[in-house]
């Protein structure tokens, strides 16, 4: 008889372990939804940052063009006035 009580005890332990493992593996759908929303917001912010960086690059390129035109104009005016460069 002692072997059957050991088997029952072992079976109970295995069952308890399986129940605890399954409960520990369950996740809350609410926390999953919150995590998903946070990930979506992070993606949106990252895309906004990329767009802002692209806009700043376009502004820099535009300013370089303006400065180059002004430099050319000043060089021509200095040449017409007979001033050394």
Q: Tell me the pLDDT tens digit for each residue of 42-78.
A: 999 999 999 999 999 999 999 999 999 999 999 999 9
pTM of the model: 0.55
Q: How far apart are CA 82 and CA 79, in angstroms?
A: 5
What value does the mean pLDDT take over residues 20-43? 84
Q: Measured between alpha carbons, how far is residue 80 from residues 36, 56, 70, 85 in Å? A: 66, 36, 15, 11
Q: Measured between alpha carbons, how far is residue 39 from residues 7, 45, 78, 81 in Å? A: 48, 10, 58, 63
Q: Largest alpha-carbon pair distance within the chain?
A: 118
What value does the mean pLDDT take over residues 10-30? 78
Q: Give Cα 18 to chain centroid, integer Å.
A: 37
Above 50 in pLDDT, residue 1?
no
CA dihedral for 34, 36, 37, 41, sign (positive or negative) = positive
pLDDT tens digits for range 6-17: 788 888 888 878
């Amino acid at each position: 008889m002692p072997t059957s009580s050991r088997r029952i005890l072992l079976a109970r332990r295995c069952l308890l372990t399986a129940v605890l493992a399954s409960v520990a593996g369950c996740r809350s759908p609410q926390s999953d939804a919150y995590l998903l929303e946070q990930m979506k917001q992070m993606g949106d912010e990252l895309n906004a940052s990329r767009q802002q960086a692209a806009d700043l690059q376009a502004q820099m390129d535009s300013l370089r063009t303006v400065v180059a035109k002004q430099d050319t104009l000043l060089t021509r005016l200095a040449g017409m006035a007979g001033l050394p460069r």
